Structure 1
């Protein structure tokens, strides 16, 4: 096991090296400039389209499986997970308060990335043997870039199908089992078994059932967590100026060791801020456009503007709340990491209650992530092997949940982190090559409207 962990660590060091961070930030910045900062400037339009997309319009009913709102909620069900609670805490533990600043930067330019992904997903989607709309990076690589790039679409699908078992399954069940055991003394195997049954009941119903569950559960859980976070920040209001000073200062200067914090260089703040930011909002990974391809819409740009809200809400709202709670509480210097650090930060302001709130929120967040990522994974295996592969994949997915609940947390995070990067590479290359299509469709849309 040690040899395997060492091997994966070596790969992780390469795929998450300087070139990956340049690729993620570079492609996002290139798209932002090419779109003339439209995703940031038109965020109000995105929210109006989201509100209007709660149901499909009459003309769009046959052009997808789920309403645009449910497509975003399905995508957000996969992104709003342990990354928002444990991921933010891990970034701050390893990179210091400045890591939160780099998460913000990743999100701001990631809005253009997420927008472009969804535009291309709807533009180049196909209809499968069951009559369902399928799309995502593997399809816009195949249909947009042509045969000579087909290998890259296959590579994405392979990495996506495998990555789902890391980022979308075992990481989530592991974190839930860990936090429920720590706070409620529930054995990890029981947590794994219960999650397996609940997830199985949802995903066996396909995308329509996933969309209904996500559309109901995601807004409720996100709003509840935000309210709890804002209460903590109100209690810590006098500490927020100092917290913000730490975040901006240590985004550009090293942070010295103090208490249980080992200290961190500026590179660590950038590396872990960007990596955990991408883990949280998934901008550039190519996962979310798989959900948006199923939306009931005829217009790629409209769905793109709805899709970009996922990055805004996930990182600039939910992750910010978590990060500010952790930094303002001072808990980040105590030596804890992951969900335990977030629990401690909430408990500092709400003794006897805060840690339980975090445990419940993490359990619900992770549950919806497992549901959302199951859809991504099955679309990847469908691309590779056809619809006959979907049912076996679903069964393997369900069986992996209790297994993940009992694995080593550090090893699971390492595998998930590595597979994330390997998914992102072919997707980011495709986004750069297909950017003229995104820019053209965007110009045409705004010339008409």
Structure 2
């Protein structure tokens, strides 16, 4: 697993983690924002009218209403990215990462408008009578790039696992296990059965279920979040100031947090912002293609609301909970994931300025660091290390009160072999105090409000609803891609594998799953961004034509 994780990290470094990817993503959004004269602002009011059903016509082609298409697409975006992803971004880049999530969302509102409009325009009716759409259809039918359409569809199938399936299942299971003590494999198996029952019903059942889940989950989550925000209201101002103030400087070391450069915070914030709202990824157009309307532009306008609701509202609230509660830079008792741990040579302490500076350079991939991975043996007696010459870094922080166990229960005694900073022994469990990330960090933050320890249950329930609805929506994206590639008969085998993957991911390594999702997002996004830029003139003409015919709306 460590080898696979390292491969995925290296691949992400060439793709989503590369310096150029955020600029490409934001650059396309900025281009269309200017080219179409800020549609995310000018068309926002009209988009709200469309989802109320004011312009709906029963005889229009499609499978579902504007509102249900929106909730299906929202259920695909409002998931672990809003709970785990925000926490992960702040964990990596500090408060500054939240600012870049905002920037991604604002420009992403335009990107999503463009991709949904073009995809809806070139949707088709399949053999089974349902509508199918998405970027692969405009790539094929308009750009005449069958190869690009096939590549995108394959990437969509991969992303249905990397974005909508594996990280969602893992986020649910780890949160439920941490809160209620139910083993992850049982959580995954139980939800896997429910997932199968829903997705076998196709888009009609999927849309009906998500239309009910999305509003309920939003209310539950917001109640818990505001209970924390109001309990820490005096910290809201400083939290906003740290987000804005650090945006163009990076975040300095604070508490257990060892700091993040501007480049690192920018990259991780944009990356997590994309994971959260999926603007530019090309996933939402697949859901919107099912909407009953003859007007692709009106459905595109509906999609403008997605990044606003998903990132600018929900992710901001999560970010304020984490920052105002102060948990983001505190060390908490936890069991260390192997991929989060690294033994480095020498003894470092947060009380020493030079130690912090060297670790800051090392963790942010900045030249000049003298930190090196540790190779050698560590003497351990009754679970406690008695030899020195090393420092254990876990979750980008110096670990404290470390305990070593084997088989998850017996205290380890003996010589522990460390090679290239990693323990060689396989059945080793390491625990102690360090920074935490993803869903566990958000769960801890929710205990700092009026509900006290009960707040963590809100995160668990919210995560369950958020992530489960995302898995439902992404199963639809994947089966539409399979329909394009191999026809309707390929859908059932895909769904079986999808459910099996959902169960498997519930008990797999958290960091490995996040690494897979990071790669999957990018291999789907790049072809879509290329395609919409190629059709920029047609997009402008389509919008102008819509307003010429609907000037009074």
Stretch deviating more after TM superposition (345-354 or 420-429): 345-354
Q: Distance in 1 between matches of 2:287 and 2:106?
A: 21
Mapping 1:20-419, distance limit 5 Å? 20-52=21-53, 56-60=56-60, 63-146=61-144, 149-334=145-330, 335-349=435-449, 350-419=451-520
Deviation at residue 263 of structure 1 after TM alignment: 0.9
Aligned counterpart, 2:538: 437
Contact 2:228 2:325 in 1 (8 A): no
Give secondary structure in 2 for the equivalent of 1:58. coil
Displacement after TM superposition at 1:262 (Å): 2.0
For residues 140-169 of structure 1, give each alpha carbon's deviation from its aligned partner in whole angstroms, at most 9, with x where no partner exists: 1111211xx221111111111011112111
The structure with the largest alpha-carbon Rg is: 2
Write the distance in 1 (CA, Å) between the matches of 2:220 and 2:131. Answer: 33
Unaligned runs of 5+ in 2: 331-434
The CA distance in 2 between the partners of 1:221 and 1:368, in whole Å, is 10
Does structure 2 conserve the Cα–Cα contact (< 8 Å) formed by 1:91 and 1:99? yes
Which whole-Å CA distance do the structure 1 matches of 2:58 and 2:437 have between them? 49
Please say if residues 109 and 307 of structure 2, whose CA atoms lie closer than 8 Å, have aligned partners that are also in contact: yes
What is the aligned-residue RMSD (CA, Å)? 1.2
Deviations 1:98-147 (Å, cap 9, x if unpaired)? 1111000000000001111110111011111112111101111111211x
Q: Distance in 2 between matches of 1:192 and 1:32?
A: 41
Give the Cα–Cα distance (whole angstroms) in 2 for the partners of residues 231 and 4 of structure 1: 40
Q: List gaps (5 residues or longer) in structure 1.
A: none
Structure 2 distance, partners of 1:186, 1:2, is 26
TM-score (norm 2): 0.79
Q: CA deviation at 1:48?
A: 1.4
In 2, the alpha carbon distance for the partners of 1:221 and 1:195 equals 17
Structure 2: distance between partners of 1:439 and 1:353 = 51
Whether the aligned pair in 2 keeps the contact of 1:40 and 1:108 (CA below 8 Å) is no
Higher relative contact order (CA 8 A, sep 6+): 1
Per-residue CA deviation, residues 254-281 of structure 1 (Å, 9 max, x unaligned), is: 3222222121000111111100000000
User: What is the CA deviation profile of residues 188-239 of structure 1, one whole-angstrom value per residue up to 9, with x for unaligned ones?
Assistant: 1110111111111100000000000011111121122123222322222211
Give the conservation status (yes or no) of the 8 Å contact 2:220–2:458.
no
**Take 1:233 and 1:425, find their aligned partners in 2: how far apart are those partners?**
37
SS of aligned partner of 1:52: coil
Bigger Cα displacement from structure 2, 250-259 vs 162-171: 250-259
CA distance in 2, matches of 1:7, 1:230: 40
Separation in structure 1 between the aligned mates of residue 300 and residue 149 of structure 2, nearest angstrom = 21
Match of 2:355 in 1: none
Q: Tell me the distance in 1 between the aligned counterparts of 2:246 and 2:537.
A: 37
Q: Distance in 2 between matches of 1:262 and 1:356?
A: 30
| Bigger shift: residues 344-353 or 282-291 | 344-353
User: Aligned pair count?
Assistant: 444
Q: Equivalent residue of 1:403, what SS?
A: helix
Which residue pairs with 1:2 in the alignment?
A: 2
Contact 2:179 2:457 in 1 (8 A): yes
More strand by share: 2
Q: CA deviation at 1:286?
A: 0.3
8 Å contact 2:255–2:329 — kept in the other structure? Answer: yes
In 2, Cα distance between equivalents of 1:125 and 1:76: 20
Q: In 1, are the aligned partners of 2:166 and 2:501 still within 8 Å (CA)? A: yes
CA distance in 2, matches of 1:201, 1:99: 38
- For residue 421 of structure 2, what is the aligned residue in structure 1? none
SS in 1 for 2:301: helix
**SS state at 2:453 partner:** coil
Question: C-alpha distance in 1, partners of 2:445/2:223?
Answer: 15
CA separation in 1, counterparts of 2:301 and 2:122?
Answer: 17
> C-alpha displacement at 1:56, in angstroms?
4.2
Deviant stretches of 4+, over 6 Å = none
Query: Following the alignment from structure 1 to structure 2, what is the Cα–Cα distance between the partners of residues 48 and 31?
Result: 23
Give the match for residue 359 of structure 2.
none
Report the Cα distance in structure 1 between the residues aligned to 2:164 and 2:102, rounded to whole angstroms: 23
